[in-house]
Structure 1
Amino acid sequence: MAFESLASRLQSAFDKLRGRGKIDEAAVNEAMREVRLALLEADVNFKVVKEFVARVKERAVGQEVLKSLTPGQMVIKVVNDELTQLMGGDVAKIATAPKPPTVVMMVGLQGAGKTTTTGKLAKYLQKQNRKPFLVAGDIYRPAAIKQLQVLGEQVGAPVFSLGDQVSPVEIARQAIEQAKEQHLDYVLIDTAGRLHIDEALMDELQQIREAVNPDEILLVVDAMTGQDAVNVAESFNSQLELSGVILTKLDGDTRGGAALSVKAVTGKPIKFAGMGEKLDSLEPFYPERMASRILGMGDVLSLIEKAQDAVDTDKAKQMEQQMRQGEFTFDMFLESMEQMRKMGPLEDLLGMLPGMNRKAMKDLKVDEKQLARTEAIVKSMTLAERSDPDLLNASRRKRIAAGSGTSVQEVNRFIKQFEDMKKMMKQFSGAADKMKKKGKKKGLKLPFGSGGATQFPTGGKGKDGLNFPFNFKPPFK
């Protein structure tokens, strides 16, 4: 999980401050020592750490904090604010040219995921109702052109290529002319990379920049390389004047040094973060939300947005009505699992909940294999059995176990859990309806949905009022 080790260290440091009725400068100094060590271990630039700790300390020992009713929480708020500023403050959106197309140069070293990220960015732009045009400008790396063409097919975006015998400068020029003719919104130029920064690489990139005058020059760097990623960003920026950075593999970066250093060192914002291998796993980088997650405050907004993208609203409403009437079936269970998977790994989703980052998740590991076995059990049932669990006698359970590659004991255990869950949903739904009626009598507006049984995991509603249809207790080990 992103920032896992850093989050753990910082939250441990602040546990000593939380709940204390009064703190003094000595307590703040002790906490700041822990913060300094945590950031240095996370491979954050030394100068950045020094300046960050100085700013936090200056604010944390001020009268506003020390004389507040909850000084420990105020110190944490100060750190949260400074972390947000360190990573860029406001969200940096991708540029939009006054007159289409918007030209984006994708630059970076080989191995950072530049070509794949170009495809992911095209997918992201399509979600914003834009029409991207992919340009195969890397004529040196074997199969780079083919890779971009495959990505273009996968996302449904056109790809421009003149082969590997035409100069990248000419390829970029002709691509922009064709994009104008076809009325496309964005031109994403995938440029060549090298294993290291050299003069030939920079000369070519500068020639492309001068020829097409891009609206964005985005550097793609591997977040897991830590301080090396920051050094690469600094070198590219000094010669190309970057407009922003895309951090790939941030989901696997437990330290977070690159994300916390790159803006402070280069002055250029992180615009996107790669949070997985799938083509829809490129996300806008939200400094405030990321700081909140690091400090264990959760990221409910991102969780809601993921749910809105993944959940079929009509199906969710229909499922809610059925559950309120006690009609939860195995088919509905499968549907819940499918929609949950669209949102991403369950551990990442749980990490977005306030208070879940460290204490609640320290020993909590999602057993993906067990989830797959559970799904196999349901898929081994007949349609009639999925609708009516009462049909599941001993011989049928034996057949289901054989079909799913599990044991009869596992099948029995799952069916028992399913029945218990069904009863719990019915009870919860009835209790929620009673509370809603009481609230109406007293003129109260309750902060949760009236039904939906065990709603995932906040028990609340998204911005459009939909109930999250994730209604099973996942198997943990």
Structure 2
Amino acid sequence: MVLAQLGGSISRALQQMSNATVIDEKVLNECLNEITRALLQSDVQFKLVRDMQTNIKKIVNLDDLAAGHNKRKIIQQAVFNELCKMLDPGKPSFTPKKGKPSVVMFVGLQGSGKTTTCTKYAYYHQKKGWKPALVCADTFRAGAFDQLKQNATKAKIPFYGSYMESDPVKIAEEGVERFKKENCDLIIVDTSGRHKQEAALFEEMRQVSEATKPDLVIFVMDSSIGQAAFDQAQAFKQSVAVGAVIVTKMDGHAKGGGALSAVAATKSPVIFIGTGEHMDEFEVFDVKPFVSRLLGMGDWSGFMDKIHEVVPMDQQPELLQKLSEGNFTLRIMYEQFQKLLKMGPISQVFSMLPGFRDELMPKGREKESQAKLKRYMTMMDSMTDEELDSSNPKLMNESRMMRIARGSGRRVQEVMEMMEEYKRLAKVWSKMKGLKIPKKGEMSALSRNMNAQHMSKVLPPQILKQIGGMGGLQSLMKQMGSNKDMMGMFGGGDK
């Protein structure tokens, strides 16, 4: 069961409970049993699941609830809080500081994606202004240094390793020393892994740790590790001072529940998740938005962060101006597709929008949808300025479409399909007309100015219904402008 399926199972259990005429102890137990089954099937450790069920029953005492309280919301809130508690050890991990040398050591079993994750971690920080470097202290796996060297070269990150030296401790020590002299402020040490837990592996990790004195030890865990996650994470924690967890391969068919177990075993936070093979398929892990997305409730704050990343500040007022005018051209559609593709793996972007993923990104067809956007952009590359800047679809007659098809190497039918998509989006865009434009320097006001009334006209009816009608939408609009509390996703705060 992949995490999306886990979230779907939990959401269905909550929905069935919501549909019940009366929420009594029997209905609550049925709901909790369904959630328990989903978590166990997703490889969450039995003790964690049992504790969660017990805690929810303690919190949700149906007999003691005062009249007028919304029982469904209280149960939803309890489920949300318990899932967050599973994934949040209550203490942050060490955070490197720019300009000050920090050593970060990566540990984990062979095959967990440790070497690739080291490069992703370095690349992420390099984009944020750090000066990272990579040290390959894995002398056990043939080809480990070649892999790190290839990854580092591609990402333009300095690296150190040796084909001749067989002592990983010596390599680690020399590499760290060299990069400290070169004023690198994030020195990442990749260590050996094994196919299974062995005394030799843990002894080597201890020696490398003693020699390099890392500021942070990161345990890298494959999300498909299953029920063994708790024991393995605990074994690593007992050997070295694991301070953070990174979960890899979250894009595949792994059950993923082991991530919850690893946090419990190491009492360390998950700081990143790997969602694909590419360098940018690497997400900062934030508990509340993650659980909210897991339960299909979206992550507006994450989506807004993505927009701020790809739309330069000086272009944001221009984008909002176009929104408010409701004048949608093919050029605007091209620009928005371009920005959407820049946001990263498109399925991750849509998963941040409540209810949108199934609507716009059918499960298992993410690559197909991404390829379609690129095809549309290729066709638009064959258009004239007049065609791109016109908001009159009647301008696109048959002879123009034939010329565009020839110029882009596509069929006329595909150009017609693109024009249908343009008309559909133009209809949605026109409903944003009259949107109040925030003043310069008030881009965060986007969420405040885009009121629920505007959004209710834009959203398809089935999506509006899925997020709880106008009441649910108003909660989501508040969330767009605030990172304080994801409970707005459940309509929390209603007394």
SS at match of 1:251: coil
Which is further off, 390-399 or 131-140? Answer: 390-399
Equivalent residue letter for 1:375: M
- Give deviations 1:373-405, integer Å, cap 9, x for gaps: 322321233455434577644333113223434
Aligned equivalent of 2:403: 399
C-alpha distance in 1 between matches for 2:327 and 2:435: 17
Distance 1:218 1:446, change over 3 A: closer
Native 8 Å contact 2:248 2:273 kept in 1 = yes
Deviation at 1:29, TM superposition (A): 1.3
C-alpha distance in 1 between matches for 2:372 and 2:75: 42
Runs of 4+, deviation exceeding 6 Å: 357-364, 449-462
Aligned equivalent of 2:388: 386
C-alpha distance in 2 between matches for 1:131 and 1:123: 10
Equivalent residue letter for 2:383: M
Aligned equivalent of 2:221: 221
Aligned length: 454
- Give deviations 1:82-127, integer Å, cap 9, x for gaps: 1100112557344448994211111112211111100111122224
Distance 1:181 1:451, change over 3 A: farther
Native 8 Å contact 2:106 2:189 kept in 1 = yes
Map residues 24-63 of structure 1 onto 2, 5 A cutoff: 24-61=24-61
Deviation at 1:30, TM superposition (A): 1.5
C-alpha distance in 2 between matches for 1:88 and 1:133: 29
SS at match of 2:431: helix
Distance 1:68 1:19, change over 3 A: farther
Is there any run of 5+ residues in structure 2 with no aligned partner, and where? Answer: 438-447, 464-472, 483-495
Deviation at 1:320, TM superposition (A): 3.6
Q: TM-score, normalization: structure 2?
A: 0.80
Deviation at 1:289, TM superposition (A): 1.9
C-alpha distance in 2 between matches for 1:66 and 1:449: 31
Deviation at 1:252, TM superposition (A): 2.8
SS at match of 2:404: helix
C-alpha distance in 2 between matches for 1:60 and 1:102: 45
C-alpha distance in 1 between matches for 2:434 and 2:269: 48
Aligned equivalent of 2:416: 412
C-alpha distance in 2 between matches for 1:189 and 1:446: 47
Distance 1:108 1:429, change over 3 A: closer
Which is further off, 331-340 or 388-397? Answer: 388-397
Aligned equivalent of 1:287: 287
C-alpha distance in 2 between matches for 1:268 and 1:359: 36
Distance 1:30 1:324, change over 3 A: closer
Identity across matched positions, percent: 32
Please provide the CA RMSD for this pair.
Answer: 3.6
Distance 1:450 1:321, change over 3 A: farther
- Give deviations 1:122-171, integer Å, cap 9, x for gaps: 12222443222211212333332232223223333221224342522112
Equivalent residue letter for 2:435: A
Aligned equivalent of 2:374: 372
- Give deviations 1:252-309, integer Å, cap 9, x for gaps: 3563311221122332322221122222332222222222222232222222222222
C-alpha distance in 1 between matches for 2:454 and 2:44: 46
Aligned equivalent of 1:86: 86
Distance 1:37 1:422, change over 3 A: closer
Distance 1:451 1:129, change over 3 A: farther
Distance 1:112 1:204, change over 3 A: same
Aligned equivalent of 2:276: 276
Which is further off, 91-100 or 398-407? Answer: 91-100
Native 8 Å contact 2:89 2:263 kept in 1 = no
Q: TM-score, normalization: structure 1?
A: 0.83
